[in-house]
Structure formats: C-alpha cells, structure tokens
Amino acid sequence: MTTINDTSIQSLFDYAKQGVLNPGKDFPVYPAVYVTFVEQFADSHPPGTANGSSDLVTYTNGRLKLSADKKMLSGELKVWRNIHDAGSPAIFDMPARPEDAFQKVEDQVTVAITVSDTGVVTYQRKLKGVPIGGMPPATLNASYDHGLMVQKAQGSVRNLSFTLGSIAGVLA
C-alpha cells in the first residue's frame, strides 16, 4: 500500500491522475485505486445459520477506474457473502474450510460503485448487468477519513476502504 497525505477524497484522485510511475521502463506501471465494500446486516443471516448466530456479510473488492474527465472513480465488482455450514477438514492439497466462510454469491451478481471527486459515493446491486428491482443507485451517507468511509443504520453497517497500488501494462 502506498501512503500519501490521505486526509481527503481528493487524495485518491490525485494519486489516480498520475502518469506512468516508472517512466522509461519497458513495462509501464500505472497508479491504481482499489476499493473494498463491506455490508453487514444484523437482522439477516447467511444460509445454514442456526438460530441466527451469524450476521449476513457481503463484500466486493477490486480496482476502480478513473473516468475520462478525471472526476469519477468507478467499477463493477463481484459480490461475495458468508455462508455457515459444517466446514471441512484439509484434504490432500486443499486447505480446511472454516464453518463461517465466504463464497461468490453468483457470477452474475455485481455491485457498481462510483466515487466522485466531490466525495459522493453511490452503489448499486446488479444481476446480469441490470439494476436489481430497477432501483437507482443508493448514496453512501458517510464521510471520508484516511481511506475509510462508514455508514451506520439500524441493523446494518456499510463501509468502503481504499488502497492505493499499481498495475503494470496497458490500462483498460
């Protein structure tokens, strides 16, 4: 993780707007902004949970791309959620799986995340690229502080965390 003066959302954009990080090298390295979006629902429970012993937790993680006008960072990322089952011991070369593990919800379920340079963050669940239930994007009601945004509501918590890194090759 790269550390810079990370006191405002603008620091993410300043980092993303940099050019090649290693000029003159054979393989260019570009700045990249990564996001992790976590939702925890105290009133919902993952499949297999007995007596509501676990909260439902979903997360997405991936790279946000800078828009052409350099005012938005956005990405559409796969959704993972916790499951609760008996787990499994290590077998041959496969590691053990704990009772409360994460799995992809489904390849076709994603969350679109958009961050504006003014600090407005929206998120939208999609199925096969279409907003679920036809709902518009929701706005995260949180402020940015050193790479983290947290929204607390009755029965749920949503947070975004940002990591500054790099990506080699041609940006797509």
Spatial neighbors of 92 by CB under 8 A, at least 6 apart, are none
Domain ranges of the chain: 9-167
User: Which two three-digit tokens encode residue 94?
Assistant: 């496969």
Tell me the β-bridge partners of 3.
Answer: none
For the entire predicted model, the pTM comes to 0.78
pLDDT at 17: 95
Please tell me what DSSP assigns to residue 22: S
Is the confidence at residue 1, as pLDDT, over 60?
A: no
40-85 confidence digits (pLDDT tens):
877 766 555 555 666 778 889 999 999 999 999 999 999 887 766 5
Is the confidence at residue 97, as pLDDT, over 50?
A: yes
Confidence of residue 39 (pLDDT cuts 50, 70, 90): confident
Average pLDDT in the chain:
81
Spatial neighbors of 23 by CB under 8 A, at least 6 apart, are none
